[in-house]
Structure formats: structure tokens, C-alpha cells
Amino acid sequence: MSDGSDIPDNLVRRVGWPGSVSRAVATPLQPSVVYASADPDQLDAQYEGRLSGFTYAREGHPNADVLAQKIDALEGAPLTGGLILGSGMAAVSAVLLGLLKAGDRVLGGNQLYGRSLRLMSQDLPRFGIGADLADPTDAEAFRAAIRPETRLILVEVVSNPTLRIADMEAILTIGREAGIPVAVDNTFTTPRGYRPFDHGADIVIHSVTKLLAGHSDVTLGYVATRDPSQRQAIRDFAVTTGMTPSPFDCWLAERGLMSFHLRYDRAEENAAALAGFLAGQPGVRRVIYPGRSDHPDHNRAAGLLGKRGGNMLSFELEGGRAAANALTRAMPDVAFAPTLGDIGTTLSHPASSSHRALTPEGRAALGISEGFFRVSVGVEDIDLLRRDIGAGIKATALSR
């Protein structure tokens, strides 16, 4: 029996990575939290930017950099490059809190994602930062909402969940003329539909969790800036507050990103077909899809997005909450889940999820009723989607 003296001493020492004349086809996963430098001089050189290298995962790691570079390429990001953060809301928060200080104000679209609205209305004021909201489809209302203290504009090209199309050309012009940076949350539209930097935006934000990663198994955010000093301010805030992205999530998101174009195009095709199907169903009051001629901003959508209607659609049922319950219960194969961008179709009810913090009056002002649903259309066979959603619509008749 061994007394333990023959146990190799290097079991707890780092062994060099095996060399190879060939290379890995898949990106390696690197979960290490810390990275060893040769000496203090080298570490100084790394922190001062004279040498490139990783130090501590909260400050960056290889899998985040690989993912950022791929999204940079999709978005046509400036050479400063983007940052990967722990979630989409981490990206939004890092932009607002990294760039604004007490006494500043941010102007946002009045139909932003629900948590973005909450951050602006409830959290920023605790730090002395004010927020104003305006209709992004009304350029003059947006211009009128600017105050002397306004230091940032935040908009989404396509609003969540009502799918209204912002007057991006006018808003970008307003920001440029006023010297106010414009940040665009491009999560819904994706660079497949619209590339904000190409049109003069200063900052681009994504919830990578959604369409870019595409499989509901990742929580990540992305932000890129035109101005290197803004990038540094956002990065400093994110590092200090620990908005660290998981290497494994970055690795999964990169894998999901490889099929992004294929997934997006198939889901977009399905969404257009499903919108047409829903429009002909009894008990459906309205269908909202940017590619339809009856969309309230159809002409603007055609100008901004061309033929790209996207994978998102919304519709409103007659019968309120009772009809909403009947619909979801009759469609067990379509996930009723407060998310979007999955490879499979998901159904969301804003009144009970993303916009539940608003009063009924506040939701009504945005056109969100108890019968209002948002659909993130996936890549399934369209006949299956018609069958499942058709069964749900039929079930609502019994609730009315």
C-alpha cells in the first residue's frame, strides 16, 4: 500500500496546455477566473495597455472577447469594439449609470422594455438622475421633450410589445443637432434588420439572451460605442459593479450566433405567414406586424427595415383575461413564457409579465389590454404553428 509519497507534486500545479500543429475548430471554453503574469512589470504593462493579456475574469476573459468580436462584425461596430455584460439589463444599466451623473437627464422612448422603464422611473431618480419619456414615432414630441439637462437619448427601433416603429432618422438628427448621444437598443430589430451605427447612432445595446444567442439558455448583454471615452466609462462601471458575463454563457451564445442568420430568416418568414393567418381569425381584434400594410407605421417600417418585418408580432383578442387564459391553456405546445428570441415560438402576455408594473391606465395608453399578446415566432413548421394557435383561438370563443 502506498504511503502517499509517490503522488506527483504537480497535481495542483498548472500544466501547460498541450501543443498541437492543428487547431481547435470550435472555440475552446476558458472558465478560469484568474490569469497568471510573469512578474509585476508585466502586470503593470497589462493594466496600462502596453501589453495585451487577461488578469481577472471580472475585467474580461477570452470567451467574452470572441463573442464581442462576432457581434461587432454583425453591427459594424467602431474599432473600439463592444463589451459583453451579464445580461441585457446590465448593458442598459451600465450605459445609463456609467455615462450619467446627478443632475443629468435621459430622454427615452415611452414604449421601452418594461425593466428599462422601471430603471428610468424608479432607480435613476435615487441617484439624482432624471428621466423623461416621449413618443418615438412623433419627432416633434421627442424634440420638445429635450431639456437643458438632457445628456442621453435611449430608444428602441421597434417598441416592445406594441411593435411601433420609431422615427429613427428624425431622432438621430435631433440628437446630433443637440449634441446628445443616441443609444439604440437593437434587441428586437437585430443587425439583420437595422444597423444603428450605419445611420449615425452613438451607442448600440443588445440583450444577447434573445435572438442573437437564440436558445433560451444564455443570459448576456452587449454594448458598443462610437466614442472610446464612453466605452471606457461604461466598462469601468460594469467592472466595478460586477456585471461579469459567464464564460460558459459566452461560449453557448457564440455557438448560437453561428446559426443566427438562418434562424432569423426562417422565423421572419413564419411570422409574416402567421400574421396573415391570425388576421383572418374570429375573435382577433387586431394584428400588429411591421410587414403588413395595416401596421400604423408601415411606410416608416418599409423605409427603415425594407422587406425585413422581423420575427415578432402582436395581436389582441376579444374577451380580456378570460380569453387570454383560454388561449394559453389550449396551446400547451407553444411555450407561454415571458421571453423572446428562442428558436421555438414563445407567447408572452405583457399585462401579466413585462408591463405588469404599469397601472391598467398606463397599459391602456400604450394599447396593451388583458387580451393583448406578443408572439416571438420561431422556426417550427408553419403548419404546426397554424394548427396550435388556431386551436387556441377557437378555445377563446367558449370564454366569451
Q: Report the DSSP beta bridge partners of residue 165.
A: 158
Distance CA 187, CA 222 (A): 10
Residue 307: active-site member: no
Distance CA 75, CA 51 (A): 27
Strand (E) positions, the chain? 83-85, 105-109, 130-134, 150-156, 182-185, 203-207, 221-225, 284-288, 312-317, 335-336, 346-348, 372-376
Residue 176: active-site member: no
Taking alpha carbons only, the member of 162, 119, 166 closest to residue 364 is 162
Active-site entry in 58, 143, 292, 386:
58
Range 248-272 burial, b when 16+ CB lie within 10 A, else e: ebbbbbbbbbeebeebbebbbebbb
User: Is-contact 400 287, C-beta < 8 A?
Assistant: no
What lies within 8 Å, CB to CB, of 360 at 6+ separation is: none
User: Is-contact 152 179, C-beta < 8 A?
Assistant: no
Residue 185: active-site member: yes
User: Is-contact 282 391, C-beta < 8 A?
Assistant: no
Active-site entry in 72, 104, 105, 113:
113
All three cell numbers of 92? 442598459
* Type of residue at 123: D
Distance CA 165, CA 192 (A): 16
CA distances from 222 to 54, 59, 69, 354 (A): 19, 15, 11, 20
SS3 call for 388: helix
Active-site entry in 70, 192, 210, 363:
210
Q: What is the full DSSP assignment across 238-297?
A: HHHTT-PPPHHHHHHHHHHHTTHHHHHHHHHHHHHHHHHHHHTSTTEEEEE-TTSTTSTT
The set of catalytic residues is 58, 113, 185, 210
